[in-house]
Amino acid sequence: MARWQPGARERLVVAAVDLFIGQGYDATTVAQIAERAGVTKSTFFRHFPDKRELLVAGQETLSRLLAEGIAAAPGAASPLEAVAAGLERASTAMGPGSRELAPRLRAAVAASTELQEREALKSVGLAAAMTTALVARGVPDPTAALGSELGVLAFKRGYAQWSEDDDDAEDGLAGHILRALDELRAASASLG
């Protein structure tokens, strides 16, 4: 096994998703994931504490990018404009590999209650990162929490649309996410 080859983390995620789909999450072992990715078990554990964490590998990066984007938004930006800046910044972490993996990842999560629970915790973590960044801008907590939840929902909707879209639109993932946020903003205004 060539442990020195670059991209071990990404190969581990792809291997895990494929195995989870093929034989189920519970039946898949860390040893099988490592073997399929062409690395050792110790390399696996250098990247992930357990197999459950594979599917939320980018959560820390996304949380950091969301918070940075919100913090960098112009001072006069509304809370949702700041969330949009965070979403736009976070979308830079997602490339063609993420888009290609998305349908298989959804299938793996849909087939496992444990992975569904972990995915829900990921959403909570992303919302918390946005809420903290908005509160740091002086946004009142209830407004910050609502804006963050809309941001998470927009991210999920935009990501799903982007990953299913056959058209390589020039605005990419960011455009899909920002359109989803605009749709949610309009929908929330219609609630009365």
Q: Is 50 exceeded by the pLDDT of residue 1? A: no
> What does pTM read for this prediction?
0.83
**Which residues, in sequence order, are CB contacts of 97 under 8 Å at separation 6+?**
10
Quote the tokens at residue 91. Answer: 């979308």
The first and second tokens of residue 60, run together, are: 């820390």
Domains of the chain are: 8-54 (1.10.10.60), 58-189 (1.10.357.10)
The percentage of the chain sitting over the pLDDT mark of 90, rounded to a whole number, equals: 58
- DSSP E strands, the chain: none
Residue 96's pLDDT band (boundaries 50, 70, 90)? confident
CA 126 – CA 123 distance, rounded (Å) = 5
Distances (CA, A) of 75 to 65, 70, 86, 137, 188: 18, 10, 14, 8, 24
Cα–Cα distance measured from residue 62 to residue 69, given in angstroms and rounded to the nearest whole number: 10
| Confidence band for 5, pLDDT divided at 50, 70 and 90 | low
